[in-house]
Amino acid sequence: MKKHFEYRTVLLVILFTVFATSCKKKEEIDEFANVRGNYFSIRQFALDEWNTFAGEPFTIIKSVRVDNKTDSSFTNSDTLNWAPIFEVFLATDISKRSFLGKYNFNQFDDNVDGTHNFFYQAKDKDLFTQKLLITIDQYSMKVRGIYIETIQHGFWDEVTQKLYYKPMKTIQIQRDERPRMGSKKFTVLQYDFMR
């Protein structure tokens, strides 16, 4: 009878442990279940900009600087290959729900500049998008600028980027490649809109 009681006790302890563990996992999974919304969407913003300005003709000065050598040329909105530009910016999007809780968020106003600022900083140094700063005009509530920093740790190298977009004025992509062996490469690709 005593062994039978011991087996029941052990069985109850095991069941209680399994139940408590599964409840804890469920709590971790459901941490953001009731949270509506997400972080700022670069994808949605890019789509809105594209839909607003697509088909509008304007001249663009394209500058490419590799290390200390710069080359500039004129192009226009109709002939520019937009795909590589979008690809760089869209890769930084943090709006998926899987990113919730992975960034520290701060909001601050700059009354001298007349802006609201929304700043996201990665909690984990291995996340691709490390920083995202959105600057919004206090009066018109339109985006004045977006600044993004990324990092990619590879076996052979480390690549950091600094991206900047001032709506319909400037697109800048800075890329710093630091290989474990060989020389590093720093490039700046900039598009200035002549509107």
DSSP-derived letter for residue 52 is H
Chain-wide mean pLDDT for the chain?
A: 85
Look at residue 11 in the predicted model and tell me its pLDDT.
46
Place of tokens 């985006």: 143
Look at residue 8 in the predicted model and tell me its pLDDT.
54
DSSP-derived letter for residue 36 is -
Judge if 93 and 126 occupy the same domain: yes
- Beta partners for residue 137, in sequence order: 115
Torsion-angle region of residue 166: left (phi > 0), alpha (psi -120 to 50) or beta?
A: beta
Q: How many distinct structural domains can be found in the chain?
A: 2
The parent domain of residue 12 ranges over 1-34
Question: Mean per-residue pLDDT for 136-150?
Answer: 96
Look at residue 24 in the predicted model and tell me its pLDDT.
47
Judge if 28 and 95 occupy the same domain: no
pLDDT at 13 over 90: no
C-alpha 77: how far from chain center: 25
User: Which amino acid, 147?
Assistant: Y
Judge if 8 and 46 occupy the same domain: no
Look at residue 195 in the predicted model and tell me its pLDDT.
75
Residue in 39, 60, 9, 1 with CA at minimum distance from that of residue 131:
39
The burial class, CB within 10 Å (0-12 / 13-18 / 19+), for 145 is middle
Q: Which two tokens stand for residue 97?
A: 């729900």
Judge if 55 and 126 occupy the same domain: yes
Judge if 4 and 49 occupy the same domain: no
Residue in 160, 42, 24 with CA at minimum distance from that of residue 94:
42
Judge if 56 and 14 occupy the same domain: no
Judge if 13 and 90 occupy the same domain: no
The whole-model pTM stands at 0.78
Look at residue 99 in the predicted model and tell me its pLDDT.
93
Q: Are 102 and 32 in contact (CB under 8 A)?
A: no
Q: Pick 98 or 7 by higher pLDDT.
A: 98
pLDDT at 114 over 80: yes
Question: Mean per-residue pLDDT for 34-55?
Answer: 83
